[in-house]
Amino acid sequence: MNKSMISALLKGLKNSDEAIRDRATRELWQIWFEQKGAVGLELLRRAQIFLEMHDLDKAEDLLATLVLQQPDFAEAWNRRAVLRYIQGNYQAAIADCETVIQLNPIHFGALHGLGLCHMAIANYSPAIQAFRQALEVQPYSLENQRLLLECTAKLS
């Protein structure tokens, strides 16, 4: 990844202009999905199709193989975290989100997902921390702002 391009996109996420933020968000997701080229992107697409068809076992098998073969492919870990969250396997989803964040500390999707997982199991302090980290990357995210407030209220 081109560091100056990533830096510009991160700056775009903090811009007051919504169109600039949306473009930066789309471009970052594209970079993350295309990290491993056409083959990696195709495998992620297949996993998404299985997920949409509610064939969670096939989706999980495909993603497990992908993270085993490409352990530095952050988006494969993130997709598996999403799948595990949908399955209600929050601890495993947390572990996958943490791997994504180790590989890509600015991955606002994984930071958001980590917060959702902690929130689902009533771990509100770690959820708050995750939503705050996500807001450091994407400060205009109304969803993360709302979830942060919701978790804070649960602690009161």
Domain ranges of the chain: 6-155
List, for residues 35-74, the tens digit of each pLDDT value.
999 999 999 999 999 999 999 999 999 999 999 999 999 9
Is residue 2 very low, low, confident or very high in pLDDT (cuts 50, 70, 90)?
A: confident
Compute the average pLDDT of residues 23-41. Answer: 95
List, for residues 104-144, the tens digit of each pLDDT value.
999 999 999 999 999 999 999 999 999 999 999 999 999 99
Compute the average pLDDT of residues 14-18. Answer: 97
Examine the pLDDT at 1 and tell me if it is beyond 80: no
Q: SS3 for the chain, per residue?
A: CCHHHHHHHHHHHCCCCHHHHHHHHHHHHHHHHCCCHHHHHHHHHHHHHHHHCCCHHHHHHHHHHHHHHCCCCHHHHHHHHHHHHHHCCHHHHHHHHHHHHHHCCCCHHHHHHHHHHHHHCCCHHHHHHHHHHHHHHCCCCHHHHHHHHHHHHHHC
Examine the pLDDT at 3 and tell me if it is beyond 90: no
pTM: 0.94
- CA dist 66 and 42 (Å) reads 11
**Would you identify the CATH topology of the domain 6-155?**
1.25.40
Length of the chain: 156
List, for residues 70-114, the tens digit of each pLDDT value.
999 999 999 999 999 999 999 999 999 999 999 999 999 999 999
Compute the average pLDDT of residues 3-16. Answer: 95
